[in-house]
Chain A
Amino acid sequence: MGKDHSTNQGPLSRRSFLGLGAGVGASMLLAACGGGSSTPPGAGGGGGGGGQFGEGKDYTGPNVSLAFWNGFTGGDGPFMRKLVEQFNGEHQNIKVSMNVLQWADFYPKVPTAVSSGNGPDIAIMHIDQLATNAARRVIIPVDEVATVLEYEESDFAPAVWSAGVWQEKRYGIPLDIHPLLQYHNEKFIGQAPTDLASFESTVKDAEGKGAQNPFWVTSTWPAHLMWWGLIHQFGGTPYSEDGSQAQFNSEAGVEALTWQISNIQKGYSPKNVAADAQAVAFRQGKNVLTWDGIWMMNEWAKINGLQWQASTMPQIGDQQAVWASSHNFVVTSQAQKDPNKLQASKVFISWISDHSIDWAKAGQIPARASVRETPEFKELEVQNIAAQQLDYVKFPPAVPGIGEVTAPTFELAVNEAVLGKKSPKAALDEATSKANELLTANKKKYGG
């Protein structure tokens, strides 16, 4: 009994002590806030001053925890987890807990979770999702973070830096860029094709070496991403510059899709290539030339005896262009309720960004030029090849809801055309009119 008493008293006194501590912390915090807003900025970093993300690049407040969500379910997950662990080790007063879920579940779940207060404080989102989530108030502007951390456009690839801005506010801090790449099997192909003529000769050559179907054209993902690059190559754009009109059925769009299908007609590709079959076939050495994401490099590397090489996308049309996306740091409206979380999130973003060379190893190109110029990055062969494409990567315009226009429109059209259900023109005509209806509806919904 006596023992029980003493143990009972321990927690009691500890709890009251903790309560006292929390109280002191809170009042100190209040004081800090008051001070911050009343004293004019000047001591802090350049011009802009504190704002809601606080001043300076460091966080000195009480212990704070950050929920960090992303969709790195593949080979990239462990790389990010390691970085987070390292960050936690170096920052005693910030604890980041990472939650990983499939991207397909991530985008529907995050808004719900954030609005209920059980979601992430910081997250990773793709560049075509930023405007949507900004318009839906899931994420908040991060211009201040960019200012305080002294991030400038010159340090980022221009395309990715400008694509994170919606209604003159920045919603994402780019972490990486991941384009499509060309991969070939060295057993069948000596030199990677660079243009239409060398593409034809390379593929024919591979056929001669016993590859029955050297270039598999899939009917599902990522076929529409190839088309996305090709329509730009043929001089078109899928959307008008302001993102209000779809132009999939332009001459360039039809030409791009027609070229994709011609590979099936010429027998370079089997018919009816279903989901993932082209990647499986590449692993097996049946598909010997393939266009796939840079993130696949680590998958190929796992296959014993597969001799593969990466190269930039060939120029099939009149100019070079390639599909790419970008992972961006975002701060959610949930974190906005706690100034400490906002400050800490800034520290986290800056730290990961500074360490993005380790992230690059997961099969990514760091968004920051200063990281790409390090000798460490030069050692990453595939990533360097992919980085050569940065001048002509193509993102969609920053318009709310644009990410969701893809699946029911041009992704569907590419599928129907590749499977021979519709002619490229007919499929793209339908996709265009549907996309325009969706864009109009989105404009009305999100208020232009």
Chain B
Amino acid sequence: MTTTDLGGRATPPAAGPGAGSLRRGRGRRGSGGAPGGGGGIAPYLFLAPYLIVFGLFVLAPSVYVIWISLHDWDFLLPGKPFVGLRNYINMFQGGTVTSGPFWQAMEATGKFVLFSVPLLVAIPLAVAVVLNQKFPGRNFFRAAFFAPYVLGVAVVGILWAFLLDPNIGLVNYYLNKIGIDNVPWTTQTPWVWAALVGPTVWWTLGFNTVIYLAGLQDIPRELYEAAKVDGANRWQQFRNVTLPGLRPVLVFVITITILASANVFGQPYLITEGRPGFETRSAIMYIGQEGLREFRMGNAAAASFILTLCLIVISVGVFVLFRERRER
């Protein structure tokens, strides 16, 4: 037993590993090499088309923006004096032409994010949970909630600008009928925020709903059944099964909603024109006006760089916040 065992064990490994590994090695190279491409350059070749486009249209311009932001830049003028960090310093120093309007625009953007993101995270979740139930006409309602999303921002903006017009708008017309005076939706704070956030929620809630729906359908039925067996009611099921199951989807929705809201442009451009004063002029509106209309591109570049940094910090913050919870 022992000898044969030993012998039996001893021989194959002694002869085996060498031959086996060789054979296996050859086999790996032979059979795996043809379709897989054996490491090396192949993965990069596959990534190349994307990397080229990414480098050309995202990476290179981003670096170029930093370069522009260090100059007093007008691409048509022969002189583009280097000003170092002056464009940035001006933004952080009170009392310059640029600092006031820029931070006012950042504040407007921040307010818009603050007002719109919670609604755009919560309402679509509620809608998705309802639309995930089985009831007659479910597909119709799914389509109905998604429908506004197919409209362009120009359509949404002009439509609501007229609906919400303080003096000739349909909304105030009906409010008048029930005895409420004209509400200055598009001209006075705080009403302007309702005029910007409301249409935005109406317009984009369908998109988030669809993502939530996909997430809901990924949660295994058995979990709900198990919860039911344990005597969990609807709310407890939602708290302990639905929400944890949706966590990755939730992080995604929160992140993209923050980014989309921070890049808001069309709604204030069309509905309030940035009014009253410049109180609803968003950061992107400011950057566009500064760089493309008034040709202070160095300034606009610095502003967009600061905006980007803010967004990166916020996005990372969202991820960190949710990752910690997952570990607990």
Contact = CB atoms under 8 A, between A and B. Distances in A.
B304 interface: no
A152 to B, nearest CB: 32
A219 B292 contact: no
B293 A445 contact: no
A277 B292 contact: no
A281 B167 contact: yes
19 contacts: A107-B293, A111-B76, A136-B295, A137-B76, A216-B167, A219-B275, A272-B186, A274-B167, A274-B186, A274-B275, A277-B166, A277-B167, A280-B165, A281-B168, A404-B293, A404-B295, A407-B289, A412-B277, A445-B77
A219 B274 CA distance: 12
Contact of B275 (A271, A277, A419): A419
A275 interface: yes
Interface in A273-293: 273-275, 277, 280-281, 284, 286
Interface stretch (A26-34, A185-193, A366-374, A434-442): A434-442
Interface string B76-101: 11000000000000000000110001
Given A271-B166, A281-B168, A434-B97, 20 more contacts: A107-B293, A111-B76, A112-B75, A115-B75, A136-B74, A136-B76, A136-B77, A219-B276, A220-B275, A270-B167, A270-B182, A272-B187, A274-B187, A275-B161, A275-B186, A275-B273, A277-B166, A407-B289, A415-B277, A421-B277
Q: Range of interface residues on chain B? A: 20 to 34
A208 interface: no
B319 interface: no
B77 A277 contact: no
Nearest to B78: A137
Contact of B74 (A220, A270, A273, A445): A445
A25 interface: no
A230 interface: no
A384 B77 CA distance: 42
Contacts of B289: 407
A434 B98 CA distance: 10
Contacts of A107: 293
Interface string A100-122: 00000001100110010000000
Contacts of B295: 136, 401, 404
A408 interface: yes
Contacts of B187: 219, 272-274, 419
Nearest to A135: B77
B182 A408 contact: no
Interface string A146-187: 000000000000000000000000000000000000000000
A274 B274 CA distance: 12
B187 to A, nearest CB: 4
A9 to B, nearest CB: 40
B188 interface: yes
A387 interface: no
Interface in B174-224: 182, 184, 186-188
A415 B167 contact: no
Given A136-B76, A272-B184, A407-B289, A220 B273 contact: yes
Q: Range of interface residues on chain A? A: 35 or more
A335 interface: no
A416 interface: yes
Contact of B97 (A112, A407, A441, A445): A441
Nearest to A408: B101
Contacts of A438: 97
B225 interface: no
Among B76, B97, B168, B188, the one with the most A-chain Cβ atoms within 10 Å of its Cβ is B168
Interface string B130-170: 00000000000000000000000000000001000111100
Interface in A388-429: 401, 404, 407-408, 412, 415-416, 419, 421
Contacts of B74: 136, 445
Among B77, B167, B275, B292, the one with the most A-chain Cβ atoms within 10 Å of its Cβ is B167
A284 B167 CA distance: 12
Interface of A: 107-108, 111-112, 115, 135-138, 216, 219-220, 270-275, 277, 280-281, 284, 286, 401, 404, 407-408, 412, 415-416, 419, 421, 434, 437-438, 441, 445-446
Among B101, B184, B188, B294, the one with the most A-chain Cβ atoms within 10 Å of its Cβ is B294
B97 A138 contact: no
B44 interface: no
A419 to B, nearest CB: 5
B78 to A, nearest CB: 8
A277 B97 contact: no
Given A419-B187, A419-B188, A441-B97, A273 B167 contact: yes
Contacts of B168: 277, 280-281, 284, 286
Interface string B291-306: 0111100000000000
A445 B277 contact: no
Interface in B266-323: 273, 275-278, 289, 292-295
A419 B187 CA distance: 7
Contacts of A419: 187-188, 275-277
Contacts of B184: 271-272
Give the top 10 A-B pairs by smallest Cβ distance, nearest first: A272-B184, A108-B292, A272-B187, A272-B166, A136-B76, A404-B294, A437-B97, A274-B186, A419-B276, A416-B277
Nearest to A422: B277
A416 B276 contact: yes
Contacts of A280: 165, 168
Given A111-B76, A415-B275, A445-B72, A277 B188 contact: no
B293 A272 contact: no
A284 B169 CA distance: 13
A441 B294 CA distance: 11
A280 B170 CA distance: 13
A357 B295 CA distance: 36
A132 to B, nearest CB: 8
A246 to B, nearest CB: 13
Contact of A274 (B75, B166, B293): B166
Contacts of A137: 76-77
A401 B77 CA distance: 13
A274 B275 CA distance: 9
A185 B84 CA distance: 59
Contacts of A286: 168
Contacts of B182: 270-272
A230 B167 CA distance: 25
A110 to B, nearest CB: 10
Interface string B90-116: 000000110001000000000000000
Contacts of A416: 276-277
